[in-house]
């Protein structure tokens, strides 16, 4: 990698750092990280609590490297999976160089946002108001002023529309100001440290979240049982775990139509992941109350 030089020809000091992205559910944290990196690393849907695990995204430039930690949305847990998600979010905020708190411009600043703001605000903090394309300039100004009443400096407030890629590069430059001198932790072509099995499971779960209704998608867990790669085909075998027989019927759909739709959408993204044709098979198993089972949470990667 060619390092940039200053006006006198001296090589500029390389910078690197860890940045946690926190916020309430469905404020656009994963969409923001994907926009900053320039490609899809974390799944993103319109449903709350899409992210269940910490997802690492890596942005590498000639002069710096930023390691983003996308975290589950802070919410009131209703089961052990929810408790794990909230704990994961707060643990990801330890020993980082910068904390970004994402706020939904349309939803405004709620009680949960205020509580989180009071817990995580520090000298290394940026408040990012997302989805600015959905509100008026007057609404944005009011949000900015309200944040300042909670002690957030105006210079530490940024405005973006992650979905439309508006304000993303300006935010990247603001983040750069918090990075200390440091090494390049990951190879330049690496965008996440998550294994292919994890990403494949998340892709499949994303399609379930996008297509299933009400409580059903939040009660779905995905396990990858097999990935076998040959020269021209990658075979992926996965299992959907749900909590009720009625949910299994909804996931399968009439004559298997829902499962076919989910599988078709997932296969397209999996082929982009593996760079090959994919044969995807998904089975559905009922595991009552799996979100409160320590064994199942560990099996699905939600516990150490």
pLDDT computed for residue 199 by the predictor: 87
pLDDT computed for residue 1 by the predictor: 44
Given a contact cutoff of 8 angstroms between Cβ atoms, the answer to whether 58 and 18 are in contact is: no
How far is the C-alpha of 31 from the C-alpha of 163, rounded, in Å? 7
pLDDT computed for residue 297 by the predictor: 77
pLDDT computed for residue 4 by the predictor: 47
pLDDT computed for residue 2 by the predictor: 43
pLDDT computed for residue 298 by the predictor: 74
**Which residues does the chain have with pLDDT short of 50?**
1-5
Domains of the chain: 15-176 (3.40.50.300), 196-299 (3.30.300.20)
Q: What is the pTM of this model?
A: 0.76
How far is the C-alpha of 199 from the C-alpha of 176, rounded, in Å? 27
HEC profile of 229-293: ECCCEEEEEEEEEECCHHHHHHHHCHHHHHHHHHHHHHHHHHHHHHCCEEEEEEEEEECCCHHHC
> What single-letter DSSP state applies at residue 18?
E
How far is the C-alpha of 102 from the C-alpha of 29, rounded, in Å? 6
């Amino acid at each position: 990698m060619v390092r940039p030089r200053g006006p006198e020809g001296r090589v500029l000091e390389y910078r690197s750092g860890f940045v946690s992205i926190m916020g309430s559910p469905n404020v656009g944290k994963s969409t923001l990280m994907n926009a900053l990196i320039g490609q899809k690393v974390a799944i993103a849907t319109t449903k709350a609590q899409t992210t269940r695990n910490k997802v690492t995204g890596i942005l590498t430039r000639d002069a710096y490297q930023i390691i983003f930690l996308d975290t589950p949305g802070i919410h009131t847990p209703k089961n052990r999976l929810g408790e794990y998600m909230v704990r994961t979010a707060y643990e990801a905020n330890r020993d980082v160089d910068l904390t970004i708190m994402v706020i939904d411009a349309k939803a405004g600043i709620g009680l949960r946002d205020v509580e989180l703001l009071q817990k995580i605000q520090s000298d290394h903090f940026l408040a990012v108001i997302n989805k600015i394309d959905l509100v008026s300039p007057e609404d944005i100004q009011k949000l900015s002023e309200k944040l300042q009443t909670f002690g957030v400096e105006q210079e530490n407030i940024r405005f973006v529309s992650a979905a439309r890629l508006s304000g993303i590069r300006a935010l990247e430059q603001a983040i750069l100001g918090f990075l200390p001198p440091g090494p390049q932790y990951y190879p330049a072509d690496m965008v996440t440290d998550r294994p292919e099995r994890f990403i494949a499971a998340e892709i499949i779960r994303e399609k379930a979240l996008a297509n299933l209704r009400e409580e059903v998608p939040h009660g779905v867990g995905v396990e990858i049982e097999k990935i076998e790669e040959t020269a021209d085909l990658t075979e992926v075998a996965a299992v959907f775990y749900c909590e009720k027989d009625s949910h299994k019927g909804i996931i399968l759909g009439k004559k298997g139509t829902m499962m076919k739709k989910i599988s078709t959408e997932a296969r397209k993204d999996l082929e982009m992941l593996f760079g090959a044709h994919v044969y995807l098979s998904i089975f559905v198993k009922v595991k009552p109350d799996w979100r409160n089972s320590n064994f199942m949470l560990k099996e699905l990667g939600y516990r150490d």
